[in-house]
A and B are shown apart, each in its own frame.
Chain A
Amino acid sequence: MPDLYHYLQQLVNGLTVGSTYALIAIGYTMVYGIIGMINFAHGEVYMIGSYIAFIAITLLAMMGLDSLPLIMVCAFAASMIVTSAFGYSIERVAYRPLRGGNRLIPLISAIGMSIFLQNAVMLAQDSKEKAIANPLPGSFVFGESSMNGVVISYMQVLIFVVTFLAMLGLTLFISRSRLGRACRACAEDLKMANLLGINTNNIIALTFVIGAALAAVAAVLLGMQYGVINPYLGFLAGIKAFTAAVLGGIGSIPGAVLGGLVLGVAEAFGADIVGDQYKDVVAFGLLILVLLFRPTGILGRPEVEKV
C-alpha cells in the first residue's frame, strides 16, 4: 500500500512541523490575548533563538564535548535565557511606551523592531547560511523498507516529546500557579486586574518572556532538524505561526496548538498536491480563507466591540 504509506508519511511530517509552529504561535496568542497587539517581532526572536542554539552547539563542539544530553541542555538553556531577555527588552523598549493608544501605532513599532533585529543579526553574523550536522541521526522505519513504509526520524520523535513537555508545562503553569492565574485575570480584563492589585506591567512582560522562551524551544528543535539557519528565516516562521494562531482562534492557547498542527498538516499535504514551491502560498491562502469564513478561528470567541 504505497499510497497509504505516503499519506501517513506526510501526516507525520506535517505534525512535526506543525507542533513547532504551535510553540511559536503560543507567543503570539498570549500577547494578543492580554494586550490585543500583534507582536510582529516574534519571528525575529525565534531567529535569534536559533542563532544562539547554533553558537552554543558549535562552542561545545570546539571544546570537544560531544555527549548528546549535554548539547541539548546547553542549547536549550542558552537559547531560552537569551531570547527571554530579548522578549522582555522588546516589550520594555518598543511597546510599553505606546500602550493604550491607536492600535496601529504599536504594530508599526513592532514592524520597525522586526526590521531592526533582522538587520542587527545580519550585520553582526553576516547573511550567509550556516549549517550544522544533525546531532541525532537515525530513524525508526515502519513497513517493509524505508522506500515503502513510514520513516520517523529520532529527531522527529524528539520534537514531539519536547513540544509535548513544553505545552504540558505551560498548561500547568497557567492553570495551577499564582502567576498563571494573574495571567488569566489580565487576559479577562486588564484594567480590573490592575485594580485588584495585580502588577499588570509585570504580567505583560511575563507573557513576552514565556512566548520568547517557547519560540526558543521551537528554534532549537527546528534548527537541529533542518540544520540550516540564516537571518531571514524569522519572517516566514513568524507569519506561519501567526497564521496558526489565527487559525486556532487568536487569544486561546489550546487554539494555537490546534492551529499549529492543522497548519502543519495542511501545508504538508498542500505541498504534496500543488508542488513544493507553492508551500507558502498554501499557508497564506489558508490564512485568508480562515479570516474570511471564520475570523474568530476554530476555538476563538467572537469579539464584541464596545463603544
Chain B
Amino acid sequence: MTRNLKTGLFSAVLLMLISYPILGLKLSVVGIRLQVEGASAETLWIIGGAALAILLWHLLLRDRLLGSGLAKAALPSLPEGFKHSMTLPHVQRWIMFGLLVIALVWPFFGTRAAVDIATLMLIYIMLGVGLNIVVGLAGLLDLGYVGFYAVGAYTYAMLAEYAGFGFWTALPIAGLTAATFGFLLGFPVLRLRGDYLAIVTLGFGEIIRIMLRNLTEYTGGPNGISVANENKPTLFGISFERRVPEGVQTLHDLLGTSYNSMYKVIFLYLIALLLVVLALFVINRLMRMPIGRAWEALREDEIACRALGLNPTTVKLSAFTIGASFAGFAGCFFAARQGLVTPESFTFIESAMILAIVVLGGMGSQLGIIFAAAVMVMLQEIRDFNEYRMLIFGLTMILMMIWRPQGLIPMQRPHLELKP
C-alpha cells in the first residue's frame, strides 16, 4: 500500500509538473512586452483532476485490474475468425476490387467538394504505397520522402514553365527524375544502419526544401511556380480549363455548353485513380518477383540475406529508387491539381503524415494504407478538428507502436503452421 501511495504521489506530481507550466501559464505579447497570463480555472481543474485520477488509479485500481488480467480484455477487439480472414491476401484482393468499382462510379453522383477531397486522398494513397515499399517492405525508415515528392512536383512545374511541356510528357520525366534523386542519394547512404539512415534522409529532405526556397532564379523562391493552363492535364488534346490560348480545344467548346468546373474535378480524380491503380498493380507484381521477396527478406534479417548471397546495398537501392519514383509521379500530379508549387508544401510534417499513413495502415499492407489515407485526409478536412489534427497524429503514432505495431490491417503471407 505504501509503495502504491509513493508511485501514485510521484506520478501525480510529475503530471502537474509537466502540464501546469505549459498549459497553465501562457506567454502573451502585450504591446511590445511579454506577459504571463494564468489559464482559465477550467484548465486548472482539469490538470488537478487528472493528477487526482492518476493517484487514485495507483492507490485503488491498478493492482486489482492488472492482477486479474482485465486490462488486456478491456481493449475492443473483433471476433478472431473475422480478424483472421481480413488479413488473408485473397480476401484483401476482393475488397480491393470492390473498392475500385465503387471508386469508379461514385464521383459522377458526388458533390464537387467531395470529389476534390477524394482526389487528395488518392494522392496520399499513392505516396503511402510508394513509401510502403521503402519502409514497410524493405524496412528502411525514410524521413525525407517528401523530398522526392517535391522533386516530382518541381520537375513538372519547371518543365512546363521553361520548356512548355504538358502534363502527360512531364509525368514520366518527373518519375524518372525523382528516381534518379533516390538513386543518387541512396547510393552512398544505404550502407548505413537503419536509424542513421532515417536522420540522413530527413536531412536530405530539408536540403531539397531549403534549395527550392533559395534558388530564386529557377524555382521562384518562396512564391513557387505556377503551372500555366495550357500545360495542365488534357484528354487527347482536349483541355478542361476555362481559359486557354488560341488553338487549344476545350471541353465546353466541344460540347457547346458553358464552362463547368465539375468536369475538371472529375477528370483530375480519374487521372489520380488511374495512377493509383497502376501503382498498386505494379507494386503487387513487384512483391511477387524475386526483388520483392528480397526486400522483405532483408527487412527480416540482413545478416542471413548476406549469407545467402544477396547484396544488401543493391536490394535496398532498388527499393529506395522505386519508392522515390512513385513519389515523383504523385508530386507531378499534385502540381497539376494545385496549379502552384511552393517549398512550404514539402515540409517535414508532410513526411511525417505519409509515414503515419504507412504505420497506421500496417507496414506492408496495401489495403491498410488505403484505409489509413482515407482516415487521415478525412481528419484533415473536419474543420473544428484541424487545430488538434497533428496532436492526434502524434498521439496515434505512439499508441499504435505500443498496442498494434503491425498496423490496423496487417498483411498475411500464405503460410503453414505447425500446431503443437
A172 to B360, CA, bound (A): 45
Interface flags for B387-408 (1: CB within 8 Å of A; 0: not) read 1101101111110011001000
For residue A101, which residue of chain B has the nearest CB? B405
Q: Is A138 an interface residue (CB 8 A)?
A: no
Q: How far is the CB of B315 from chain A (nearest CB, A)?
A: 17
Does A264 make an interface contact (CB < 8 A)?
no
Asked if residues A280 and B206 are in contact (CB atoms below 8 Å), the reply is: yes
Task: Please tell me if A292 contacts chain B, counting CB pairs below 8 Å.
Answer: yes
Report whether A114 and B394 are in contact in the complex, using a CB–CB cutoff of 8 Å. Answer: yes
Known: A109-B401, A115-B397. A37 touches B18 (CB 8 A): no
Q: Give Cα A215–Cα B189 distance, bound, in whole angstroms.
A: 29
* Contact of B394 with A291 in the complex, beta carbons under 8 Å: no
Q: Which has the most chain A C-beta neighbours within 10 Å: B206, B401, B402?
A: B401
Task: Report whether A281 and B352 are in contact in the complex, using a CB–CB cutoff of 8 Å.
Answer: no
Q: Which residues of chain B are within 8 angstroms of A128 by Cβ–Cβ distance?
A: 29
Dominant SS at the B interface? helix
Q: Smallest CB-CB separation from B188: which chain A residue?
A: A292
With contacts A108-B359, A111-B352 taken as known, whether A288 is within 8 angstroms of B203 at the C-beta atoms is yes
Rounded to whole angstroms, the CA-CA distance of A62 and B30 in the bound complex is 12
Q: Which of B34-49 contact A (CB under 8 A)?
A: 34-36
The size of the chain B interface, using a CB distance under 8 A, is 57
Interface segment out of the listed A9-17, A89-97, A193-201? A89-97
Contact across chains for A112 and B188 when beta carbons are under 8 A apart:
no
Interface size class of A (residues with CB under 8 A): 35 or more
Decide yes or no whether B207 CB sits under 8 A from chain A: yes
Chain A residues within an 8 Å CB radius of B396: 112
From known contacts A277-B210, A288-B200, infer whether A104 and B14 are also in contact, taking CB-CB under 8 Å.
no
A115–B207 touching, CB < 8 Å:
no
**B294 located at the interface, meaning its Cβ lies under 8 Å from any Cβ of chain A in the complex:** no
> Which B residues lie within 8 Å of A61 (CB)?
34
- Of A52-60, A68-76, A153-161, which stretch is located at the interface? A52-60
* B154-207 contacts to A (CB < 8 Å): 188-189, 191-192, 194-196, 198-200, 202-204, 206-207
Residues of B whose CB lies within 8 Å of any CB of A are: 14, 17-18, 21-23, 25-29, 34-36, 135, 139, 141, 143, 188-189, 191-192, 194-196, 198-200, 202-204, 206-207, 210-211, 213-214, 303, 348-349, 352, 355-356, 359, 387-388, 390-391, 393-398, 401-402, 405
| 30 CB < 8 A contacts A-B | A38-B195, A48-B22, A51-B22, A51-B27, A54-B34, A58-B27, A61-B34, A88-B14, A89-B14, A93-B398, A97-B402, A104-B141, A105-B401, A108-B355, A111-B143, A111-B397, A115-B349, A115-B397, A119-B394, A123-B391, A124-B22, A131-B34, A281-B211, A284-B204, A284-B206, A284-B207, A287-B199, A287-B200, A287-B203, A291-B196
